[in-house]
A and B are shown apart, each in its own frame.
Chain A
Amino acid sequence: NAGVMQNPRHLVRRRGQEARLRCSPMKGHSHVYWYRQLPEEGLKFMVYLQKENIIDESGMPKERFSAEFPKEGPSILRIQQVVRGDSAAYFCASSPHQGPAEKLFFGSGTQLSVL
């Protein structure tokens, strides 16, 4: 059973471009979480999705950021008009169910660099 797959592993964008980060959860997992880790900082929750639905987006910046988890295909975190401050590691996690005893399985992350 393959783990959580994130691609690309590294992404370089110029200011003003769009960044699309993809996350394929583990097989059978319908819950996806996105986290961001700025340089020398901790992991910050961004958004929680369950197939086709956004459940909790309390950590998402109000502008330029969006996330989706379609019925078919990977979850996508989209950042429009990137700025230098968006440079960070973005991690995706998945779980088969929701609940306080559930484990989250994390991918290796996408390192976004904005020039």
Chain B
Amino acid sequence: DAKTTQPNSMESNEEEPVHLPCNHSTISGTDYIHWYRQLPSQGPEYVIHGLTSNVNNRMASLAIAEDRKSSTLILHRATLRDAAVYYCILRSAKETSGSRLTFGEGTQLTVNP
């Protein structure tokens, strides 16, 4: 599976934008970029995913570099409830290995009031 690299931790202030980076230099042409987050004592929660184009949804935006070797998850206005571990995951089109999500260490986001 192609690997992703994320900072261990980041801090933000409430109501400010947050940009969470992810490097995936070994991404293949058919790998989708997924973001999930895990709040304390809860299961992971889907945030957003994309292939080549930037994506927006009600939770966040995903900016994908032109060469696809990196991406950035953007939370437009962080709230205290956004404090979580954020995982950037590549999902392959391969039939078996691509079926599972392989979680790395993720980025622990702290939001200061």
Binding site for B on A (CB under 8 A): 4, 31, 33, 35, 42-45, 48, 55-56, 59, 91, 93, 98-101, 103-109
Interface residues of B in 62-113 (CB under 8 A from A): 91-93, 95-106
Assess whether A55 is in contact with B99, with CB atoms less than 8 Å apart: yes
Contacts of A48 in B (CB 8 A): 96, 99-100
Contact sample, A vs B, 13 pairs, CB 8 Å cutoff: A43-B38, A44-B103, A93-B44, A98-B99, A99-B93, A99-B98, A100-B93, A103-B46, A104-B36, A105-B46, A106-B44, A108-B42, A108-B43
In the complex, what residue of chain A is closest to B101 when comparing beta carbons? A104
Which 8 A-B pairs rank lowest in CB-CB distance, beginning with the nearest?
A106-B43, A43-B103, A100-B91, A100-B32, A45-B100, A103-B46, A91-B43, A100-B93
For A55, what are the chain B residues with a Cβ–Cβ distance below 8 Å? Answer: 96, 99
**Which residues does chain B contribute within 8 Å of A56, judged by CB atoms?**
96-97, 99-100
* Interface, chain B (partner A; CB < 8 A): 30-32, 34, 36, 38, 42-46, 49, 51, 91-93, 95-106
Q: Tell me the complex Cα distance, A31–B51, Å.
A: 22
Collect the chain A residues with CB atoms within 8 Å of residue B104's CB: 42
In the assembled complex, the CB of B87 is this many whole angstroms from the nearest CB of chain A, namely 8
CB distance from B67 to the nearest CB of A (A): 19
| Complex contacts, B49 vs chain A, CB 8 Å | 101, 103
Smallest Cβ-Cβ distance to B90: which chain A residue = A100
Task: State whether A33 touches B43 (Cβ < 8 A).
Answer: no
CA distance A101 to B91 in the complex (A): 8
Q: How far is the CA of A42 from the CA of B85 in the complex (A)?
A: 10
Chain B residue at minimal CB-CB distance from A98: B99
